[in-house]
Amino acid sequence: MSRELDNPQQLAAFLTPERVLFLECDSKAAALNALIDCLARTPQITDAAAFREAILSRESLMSTGLGLGIGVPHTRLESITDMVVAVGWCRQPLLDYVGLDGGPVELILMIATSPDQHAEYLRLLASVTARLKNDEFRRAVLTAEDTAAAFRLLTC
């Protein structure tokens, strides 16, 4: 399934308001597990155990912290029927989730996709990270009053 991702509204094709979460976590593991639990309940993920293992295994190889307080844990599995996204952020940066710039992570965009959606995944990642690299936009998302406001910002 191919969808154009040239505009931010297309993120709404993979992200729902229920999958935008405030995370009350003090560790990378707790944050990842909260987002894994959120996505594992979606119909697109047909093997929750394999999904959990894949995300945690990938993260153990190398941090998915991109810098600027952003983390993008991701996986591609046959047991995922269509791309699905969850976003979580912590009011307190996760000091043990280190980005490429050496700083902690505050905003986590978790992406699960099937192996045949690699190009679509790359377009989504490029689109979202380009927007989040904008300091004003990133601050607006991080300081949103509630998850509905954050969802609107991310998808409009």
The tally of domains found in the chain comes to 1
Question: Which residue range forms the structural domain that includes residue 61?
Answer: 18-148
pLDDT over 90 at 79, yes or no: yes
Task: Report the CATH number that the domain containing residue 95 is assigned in CATH.
Answer: 3.40.930.10
| Local confidence band at 4 (pLDDT 50, 70, 90 cut-offs) | very low
In a domain, 5, yes or no: no
pLDDT for 17 equals: 95
In a domain, 2, yes or no: no
pLDDT over 90 at 3, yes or no: no
In a domain, 7, yes or no: no
Report the predicted TM-score, pTM, of the whole model to 2 decimal places.
Answer: 0.91
> 84-112 as b/e, with b when 16 or more CB fall inside 10 Å?
bbbbbbbeeebeebbbeeebbbbbbbbbb
d(C-alpha 83, C-alpha 93), whole Å? 27
In a domain, 9, yes or no: no
